[in-house]
Amino acid sequence: MMQQRPRRNRKSETIREMVTETRVSVSNLIFPLFVMDGMGKQTKISSMPNIARFTPDLLYTEVEECMNLGLKSFVIFPAVEDALKDKEASYSWDPDNFYLKVIRGIKSRFPEVCLMSDVAMDPYSSDGHDGYVENGEIINDLTLPILGKMALAQAEAGIDILGPSDMMDGRVGFIRNVLDENGFTGTSIMSYTAKYASAYYGPFRDALDSAPKFGDKKTYQMNPANKREALIEAELDEAEGADFLMVKPALCYLDIIHLLKENSHLPVAAYNVSGEYAMLKAAGEKGWINYDKAMLEMLLSIKRAGADIILTYFAKEFAMKTKNGSV
Active site positions, annotated: 195, 248
**CB 166 → ligand PBG: shortest distance, Å?**
6
In this structure, the dihedral spanned by the alpha carbons of residues 309, 124, 159 and 167, taken in order and rounded to 10 degrees, is 40
- The answer to the question of residue 274 lying near ligand PBG (CB under 6 A) is yes
Tell me if 123 sits within 8 A of 80, measured CB to CB.
yes
Residues with Cβ within 8 Å of residue 81, at least 6 apart in sequence = 37
**CB 105 → ligand PBG: shortest distance, Å?**
22
CA 164 vs CA 22, 31, 177, 207: distances in Å: 29, 17, 14, 19
Size of the site for ligand PBG (CB under 6 A): 11
- The answer to the question of residue 116 lying near ligand PBG (CB under 6 A) is no
- The answer to the question of residue 120 lying near ligand PBG (CB under 6 A) is yes
- The answer to the question of residue 205 lying near ligand PBG (CB under 6 A) is yes
Position among 130, 160, 233, 237 found at the interface with ligand PBG (CB under 6 A) = 130
- The answer to the question of residue 127 lying near ligand PBG (CB under 6 A) is no
- The answer to the question of residue 204 lying near ligand PBG (CB under 6 A) is yes
Q: Burial of 87 by CB count in 10 Å (0-12 exposed, 13-18 middle, 19+ buried)?
A: middle
In DSSP notation, 46-84 reads TTSTT-EEE-HHHHHHHHHHHHHTT--EEEEEEE--GGG
Region 134-153 residues binding ligand PBG, contact defined as CB under 6 A: none
Position among 165, 187, 312, 322 found at the interface with ligand PBG (CB under 6 A) = 165
C-alpha count within 13 angstroms, C-beta hemisphere, residue 318:
28
Give the binding range for ligand PBG (CB under 6 A) out of 54-62, 145-153, 199-207, 295-303: 199-207
Residue closer to ligand PBG by CB (options 109, 218) is 218
Tell me if 302 sits within 8 A of 310, measured CB to CB.
yes
Residue closer to ligand PBG by CB (options 40, 116) is 116
Question: How many Å apart are CA 299 and CA 24, to the nearest integer?
Answer: 7
The residue ranges that bind ligand PBG (CB under 6 A) are: 118, 120, 122, 130, 165-166, 201, 204-205, 273-274
